[in-house]
Structure 1
Amino acid sequence: MRKLNTGDIFKAARIIKKAKLRESIVDFAKKGKKTNGNDEEAVESLGLEIAFSVLESCGNEGVEKELYEFLAGPFEITPDKIEQMPVDELLKNLKDLATNNNLMLFFKSAGKLTI
């Protein structure tokens, strides 16, 4: 598995826009701040909310395919293999991707940006 790069960020941004996830992501970030990462049950609940929101949004026309193409890059496999991947393996890979790229720090830093 490779680390995410700048091109991946823009691919993810297009998926977020197409899937209309922006508002949900902002809401999840606000909820995440309230839990402060200390309440394990609240964090798990928030994780489920995020997962179901993403799943629901990926039902939008074309988003599923774009998501497979996006994940194929860092996972270093073909989009078809992503589509056929067992769910437990996908979840493990997503967790590894988040950990290896310190996505929590990225989102915390992005949330502090001001214009």
Structure 2
Amino acid sequence: MKKLTGKHLFAMAKIIKAANLKDELGEVIAKAQKGEMSTEKAGIEGMMAVITACGDDNVEKRVYELLDDVFEAKTADMSLEVIVANFKQLATENNLMSFFKSAGLLKQ
């Protein structure tokens, strides 16, 4: 598993833009920061928004490219259990709130 870098930040920004998720994910993160939503619930809400956006083939392709690079394996071939474990490890090893803020999700 790689640490998130600038390359991943810009890839995520492209996904957010292509999927038109800036406002939706920004609201979820803002609620979590205000204590109106648990971090776990925010993660679930955010993942559901991204999964729903993957109905667009271009967004799905970008998500796989990003995850394949970060997880250093072909995500499409992973079991759901492995994907969930990888996301937990990713969250443990990285400050995801800072990452998403840097991707421009929250209004400054």
**Distance between the aligned counterparts of 1:86 and 1:14, measured in 2?**
26
Q: Which amino acid aligns with 1:52?
A: M
1:39-50 superposed matches below 5 A: 42-50=38-46
Per-residue CA distance 1:22-61 (angstroms, 9 max, x = gap): 011111022112326xx7xx44433332222111112123
Alpha carbons of 1:47 and 1:105: their partners in 2 closer, same or farther (altered >3 Å)? Answer: same
Unpaired runs of 5+ in structure 2? none
Distance apart, 1:111 and its partner CA = 7.8
Higher radius of gyration, 1 or 2: 1
Q: Which residue of 2 aligns with 1:26?
A: 26
With the length of structure 2 as denominator, give the TM-score of the two structures. Answer: 0.81
Conserved 8 A contact 1:3-1:101: yes
Q: What 5-or-longer segments of structure 1 have no aligned partner?
A: none
Q: Secondary structure at the match of 1:20?
A: coil
Name which structure has the greater RCO, CA cutoff 8 Å, separation 6+. 2
Q: Structure 1 residues 98, 45: closer, same or farther in 2, change over 3 A?
A: closer
- Residues 86 and 105 (structure 1 numbering): CA distance in 2 closer, same or farther, change over 3 Å? same
> Cα RMSD over matched residues?
2.5
2:86 is the counterpart of 1:87: no
Secondary structure in structure 2 of the residue aligned to 1:35: coil
The two structures have a TM-score, normalised by structure 1, of: 0.76
Deviation of residue 7 (structure 1)? 0.8
In 2 relative to 1, CA 24–45 (structure 1 residues): closer, same or farther, beyond 3 Å?
same
In 1: Cα distance, 2:70 partner to 2:30 partner: 28
- Matched pairs, number: 107
